[in-house]
Structure 1
Amino acid sequence: MKVTLNRTAFTQQLQTVQRAISTKTTMPILTGVKIDLANNGLTLTGSNADISIESFLSSDDEKAKMNIESTGSIVLQARFFNEIIRRLPEDHVTFEVLDNNQVEITSGKANFLVNGLDSESYPHLPAVDRQREIQLPADMLNKLINETVFSVSQHESRPILTGVHFTLQNNRLLAVATDSHRLSQRTIPLENDTEEFDIVIPGKSLVELSRSLTDEEDTVKISIMENQVLFETETMKFYSRLLEGKYPDTDRLIPSSFNTEIEFDVSGLLSAIERASLLSHESRNNIVRLQITENSVVLHGNSPEVGKVEEDLKYEKVSGDPLEISFNPDYMKDALRAFGNTTIRICFISAVRPFTLEPTEGQGDFLQLITPVRTN
């Protein structure tokens, strides 16, 4: 195997697969990156117990400026290899596999000789089942992940809640995440008939997937297998294991009637919550209090050690019963950031029941739910 190519183009592919490579693994070969060189281009593979990423750099790619002299494959220690490539002096780099799996890396006057591993020992990626497959615009998938994944549980005591629940029914894709204190739910209508599914994808996998998707990608093909899901673009294949178990029925958590409703501009409310949380973070409780009357809406933050803050909030309109409710400001900030610059409606039942946040336009497609904090 011998190839010369542009170092920048190669580094971008390497950084993508690096997301899947862990130094903590029971299989030493998985601390390496697999390099496959064929006549049509270069494929890099990285994997750990949860995700596998395959990235392809085409020989036709003008940025790659690839010159293939002989094909082949090798596995190289990812951490050292990445550092070597980053620090090479020239724009171009040449790799050549010598005897005994040794690899010569040359760039300008720099020359490295590193030990590789036989690629035959590298685990095979799962076979793809095309029976259950959907396609989404890459930006829509990214948005879907960013609107839900922050609500997954960070505790392994209930492993199923560390993932996002995806179901497809009646051509509607539903994504739900909850840590039992808050919930994020997004619905996307799909045009093509597809076999229904019910899966839970680890939140950590989705975060890495979101980071791996670039602006250049248009469409993501999603294929569901027995215990794996594959996200595929023109240049990348991203595999993730699925979580086992039954996701709780979250429909029953979402109220259908309310006693108090209020509309806010998101950016104004978010700024006020950020100011109030400056003090609440200094308190052991980390809560802020919202006081709603017919004529005013006031936000209170308090820390016995530091002081207190009180702010009259600007709102669009308010209706229903007066209410005083306390909640975790960090949950509220996460929820508000997911909406972007828009107007939202917040609906309350009482001071002790979960409340919902929805955009004033397109209601039903995107919903956040937060459980209040009981105070004496």
Structure 2
Amino acid sequence: MKFIIQRDRLVQSVQDVMKAVPSRTTIPILTGIKLVANEEGVALTGSDSDISIESFIPAQENDQEVVEIIQPGAIVLQAKFFSEIVKKLPTDLVEIRVENHLQTVIRSGNSEFNLNGLDAEEYPHLPQIEEDNIFKIPTDLLKAMIRQTVFAVSTSETRPILTGVNWKVENGELICIATDSHRLALRKARIETIAEDSYNVVIPGKSLNELSKILDDQNEPVEIVITENQVLFKAENLLFFSRLLEGNYPDTSRLIPTDSKTEVVVQTKEFLQAIDRASLLAREGRNNVVKFSIIENNVVEISSNTPEIGNVVEEVQSSSIEGEDLKISFSAKFMMDALKTLEGTDINISFTGAMRPFIIKPLNDDSILQLILPVRTY
């Protein structure tokens, strides 16, 4: 194998596939990156058996040569060393060649590295996926949907299914739901589907986080293929495979209240900053709880009290309050996480009582919803 490649393109592809390379593994070859060179270009693959990423660098792009393939072939190189080396190479062009016994020479300018490679035949194959049922979603929308839900997945392995995001496709709509049983995030959007298929799968939160980091901010569509135990995301020159979580996701529709006793409309940014300030004195001990109470003249009081530190009280003007008076306590962190995902200047908070879950959503937008369970303090 021998090829000459633009360093910047190589560095970018290595960084992308490194997101799937495990730091510790029982399968030693997975600590490597697989490189395959053929007439069309160079493909790099990283995998930890949960996530697999393939980044392809085409030989030609926009009538310019990106890679000169002199001799096709394949090799697996130690990811840790290979990624550090390519980042620090001195010139814009890199020559990589494999000699006998898998010895790999990496040359750039006056710099030459020799790395011991591994046999590419030993590297696990990527899942073979039948691409019958594809749906498409613009990249920027996909990233927004991940950002607005993935933060609410559970970090505890006691219920592994809750460490993923539930994706449901039905009637040309994608619905993403995440919950850790103390809060819930839901986001839905219309999508392009070829067939009238419906799906109900759970994608690990870790996979979605990594995918979001790799995707460029653009509105080119990403193609998504779902099978029994894998999901494949296809973007330009990128394949991202993730295993699906096994088991049934709980029916969350029962958690979401349909009626409300109190409705409050506040400005998102102002409310977020007030909660942030109140949480300054609430970080110690009891999972940073703040209190929310309605006082007269459409004013909401946000307060926090930690006996050994002190207390804070702040008033926030609401543009409208309807229904019963209310005092409720909740986690400041959960509230801030939820508010950061909501787009729009005003939000509507619907309460059904001091000990019942409450809903936050942007005014006049039903595509996104955040739900938080209160904390008993009163």
Which whole-Å CA distance do the structure 2 matches of 1:121 and 1:283 have between them? 51
Alignment of 1:7 with 2:16, yes or no, is: no
Which whole-Å CA distance do the structure 2 matches of 1:11 and 1:216 have between them? 21
Partner of 2:190: 189
1:231-262 CA-partner distances (Å, limit 9, x unpaired): 00111000000000011000000001111001
The answer as to whether partners of 2:29 and 2:122 remain within 8 angstroms in 1 is yes
Partner of 1:345: 348
Which whole-Å CA distance do the structure 2 matches of 1:269 and 1:61 have between them? 48
Partner of 1:25: 25
Over 6 Å off, 4+ runs: none
Alignment of 1:145 with 2:146, yes or no, is: yes
Q: 1:306 offset after TM fit, Å? A: 1.6
Q: TM-score normalized by structure 1?
A: 0.97
**Aligned residue among 358, 367, 371 for 2:373:** 371
More off after superposition, 64-73 vs 166-175: 64-73
Which whole-Å CA distance do the structure 1 matches of 2:162 and 2:287 have between them? 24
Q: 1:64 offset after TM fit, Å? A: 6.5
1:33-56 CA-partner distances (Å, limit 9, x unpaired): 000111111100000021000001
Which whole-Å CA distance do the structure 1 matches of 2:373 and 2:79 have between them? 44
The answer as to whether partners of 1:101 and 1:118 remain within 8 angstroms in 2 is yes
Alignment of 1:35 with 2:35, yes or no, is: yes
Partner of 1:244: 246
Q: Secondary structure at the match of 2:197?
A: coil
Q: Which amino acid aligns with 2:307?
A: P
Partner of 2:73: 72
Alignment of 1:264 with 2:266, yes or no, is: yes
**Aligned residue among 273, 276, 282 for 2:275:** 273
Q: Which amino acid aligns with 1:267?
A: K
Partner of 2:328: 325
Partner of 1:175: 176
Q: Secondary structure at the match of 1:185?
A: strand
The answer as to whether partners of 1:283 and 1:302 remain within 8 angstroms in 2 is no
Which whole-Å CA distance do the structure 1 matches of 2:115 and 2:190 have between them? 51
The answer as to whether partners of 1:294 and 1:319 remain within 8 angstroms in 2 is no
Which whole-Å CA distance do the structure 2 matches of 1:110 and 1:285 have between them? 53
Q: Which amino acid aligns with 1:340?
A: E
Partner of 1:354: 357
Which whole-Å CA distance do the structure 2 matches of 1:270 and 1:170 have between them? 35
Which whole-Å CA distance do the structure 2 matches of 1:289 and 1:315 have between them? 16
Q: Secondary structure at the match of 2:146?
A: helix
Q: CA RMSD in A?
A: 1.3
Which whole-Å CA distance do the structure 2 matches of 1:51 and 1:74 have between them? 20
CA 1:354–1:236: 2 relative to 1, 3 Å: same
Q: Which amino acid aligns with 1:229?
A: V
Q: How many residues align?
A: 375
**Aligned residue among 324, 334, 344 for 2:337:** 334
Partner of 1:104: 105
1:196-224 CA-partner distances (Å, limit 9, x unpaired): 11100000000000001012561110001
Q: 1:317 offset after TM fit, Å? A: 1.1
Q: TM-score normalized by structure 2?
A: 0.96
Q: Secondary structure at the match of 2:60?
A: coil
Q: Secondary structure at the match of 1:89?
A: coil
Which whole-Å CA distance do the structure 2 matches of 1:118 and 1:233 have between them? 28
Q: Secondary structure at the match of 2:57?
A: strand
The answer as to whether partners of 1:10 and 1:64 remain within 8 angstroms in 2 is no
The answer as to whether partners of 1:138 and 1:217 remain within 8 angstroms in 2 is yes
Which whole-Å CA distance do the structure 1 matches of 2:47 and 2:9 have between them? 21
Partner of 2:206: 204
Which whole-Å CA distance do the structure 1 matches of 2:138 and 2:238 have between them? 15
CA 1:112–1:285: 2 relative to 1, 3 Å: closer
Q: Secondary structure at the match of 1:261?
A: strand
The within-5 A match list for 1:210-229 is 210-216=212-218, 218-229=220-231
Q: Secondary structure at the match of 2:148?
A: helix
* Structure 2: gaps (5+ residues): none
Q: 1:298 offset after TM fit, Å? A: 0.5
More off after superposition, 297-306 vs 146-155: 297-306
Which whole-Å CA distance do the structure 1 matches of 2:16 and 2:65 have between them? 16
Q: Secondary structure at the match of 1:282?
A: coil
Which whole-Å CA distance do the structure 2 matches of 1:215 and 1:171 have between them? 24
CA 1:240–1:285: 2 relative to 1, 3 Å: closer
Q: 1:66 offset after TM fit, Å? A: 1.9
Partner of 1:314: 317
